[in-house]
Amino acid sequence: MKKIFYIVLILILTACGSTSTEFDKNLTKWNESGVSHYRFQLVVGCFCPFSDINPLTIEVKDNQVLSMMGANGVEILDTDPLYPLLMNYATVDNLFTWTTDVLANADEVEVTYDATYGFPDNISVDYIEEAIDDEIGVRISNFEVLE
């Protein structure tokens, strides 16, 4: 029985370390890329009130959001009630911060990273494994470096 416990423990620790190593490797890749001005499309999939504005087009310079436009062509301003929630995903640095949080607190997380720049480009989160309607998916596409 003890042997099984140790095997399971090693597998769990190895799995956690692998996720952390992949995260760290990609965070380093992003930080070393030197990209400071970029635009991308963001889709947030969840049981949320803003699914009708997906995809959002976001432009960022020096880690500051220059513009955030909904699919309907309307700019999302900092006075919008959804703005604080959307800011979790509005810059690559914010995405890494949010990913750190969900990796530490959610029951199930799957993350893929952009092969060129290392940012998280697809994140699927199930905060509580047995709960309904708590899942969220975040997808980054059409990433473009701007000069």
Residues in the chain: 147
The predicted model gives 40-59 an average pLDDT of: 85
Residue 134: what pLDDT?
Answer: 66
Question: Based on the number of CB atoms within 10 Å of its own CB, is 80 exposed (0-12), middle (13-18) or buried (19 or more)?
Answer: middle
Kindly report, residue by residue over 81-131, the tens digit of the pLDDT: 989 989 999 999 999 998 888 888 878 888 999 999 999 999 988 766 777
At 19, is the pLDDT very low, low, confident or very high (cuts 50, 70, 90)?
low
State yes or no: cis peptide before 120, omega within 30 of 0: no
pLDDT of residue 133: 66
Can you list the domains of the chain with their CATH numbers? 2-145 (2.50.20)
Give the pTM.
Answer: 0.81
d(CA 53, CA 19): 31
